[in-house]
Amino acid sequence: MANSKPHVILSAAISIDGKISTRSGDSKLSSSEDFIRLHKLRSKVDGIIVGKNTVIKDNPLLTVRHTKGKNPVRIILDSKGNISSKSKILQTSKQIPTIIAVSKTISKSNLQKLNKFPVEVIITGEKSVNIKSLLKKLSAKDMNTLLVEGGGTINWEFIKQNLFDEMIITLSPYLIGGNNTISLVQGIGFDKISKSPHLRLKSIKRLKNHLVLNYLKV
């Protein structure tokens, strides 16, 4: 029988100052060895979740390419169904299973746009996508392990709503700076450390100058 909530892993590569992208949108912080590790991890999960801005900024594929293995289902959180028809996600949806999670705010025209592609559209939530309810729906489809690959806004939602179980963060040897650059966790943030989730460091793996930190939520 399916669990009521899948096991959720938050994944990202950060600079030493906690940024996940430069001011011009450069976000490739991992090394080639770390991308191989990431793709091995992708091949072991049922689904990869990203937010709309990550699709707009990175135009990602979210596939397994740096190792052999199956592609997970791609799940995009896009309340209004704004992602472009030209995005790689929609353009490759014939070959790779794709879910677009939207909310009730989606316009008819955007719904029609998405329905031109062989994607599953899940409508949940009044204004924004209701992530908790989405996870239940994914669990009902036997999707038991999910990798959340950003960005900072979506990471905050999973942290604030206590919907993650594990974090795998690559600490990359860069300093990015900038008052308005995107951090690992965006949103308003917690006012007290006591409100932060408590994490246990399960392992550290060194890949030359990159450190892969694996934390479990206590």
Ligand X SMILES: NC(=O)C1=CN([C@@H]2O[C@H](COP(=O)(O)OP(=O)(O)OC[C@H]3O[C@@H](n4cnc5c(N)ncnc54)[C@H](OP(=O)(O)O)[C@@H]3O)[C@@H](O)[C@H]2O)C=CC1
Ligand Y SMILES: Nc1nc(O)c(N)c(N[C@@H]2O[C@H](COP(=O)(O)O)[C@@H](O)[C@H]2O)n1
Binding residues for ligand Y (CB under 6 A): 11-13, 27-30, 38, 50, 54, 58, 60-63, 149-150, 170
Helical segments of 31-178, H only: 32-44, 52-58, 88-91, 108-115, 131-140, 152-160
Among 153, 197, 205, 207, binds ligand X (CB under 6 A): 153
Q: Look at residue 186 and give the partner it binds from ligand X, ligand Y, none, a contact being a CB closer than 5 to 8 Å depending on partner kind.
A: ligand X
Please name every residue paired with 172 in a beta bridge, in sequence order, or none if there are none. none
Interface stretch with ligand X, choices 2-10, 41-49, 75-83, 88-96 (CB under 6 A): 75-83
Q: Which long-range contacts (CB under 8 A, 24 or more apart) does 107-113 make?
A: 107/80, 107/81, 110/80, 110/81, 110/82, 111/81, 113/81, 113/85
State the minimum distance, in angstroms, from the CB of residue 87 to ligand Y. Answer: 11
CA distance 57 to 27: 9
139 touches ligand X (CB under 6 A): no
List residues binding ligand X (CB under 6 A): 12-13, 20-21, 25, 27, 29, 50-54, 57-58, 77-80, 82, 128-129, 131, 149-154, 157, 182, 186
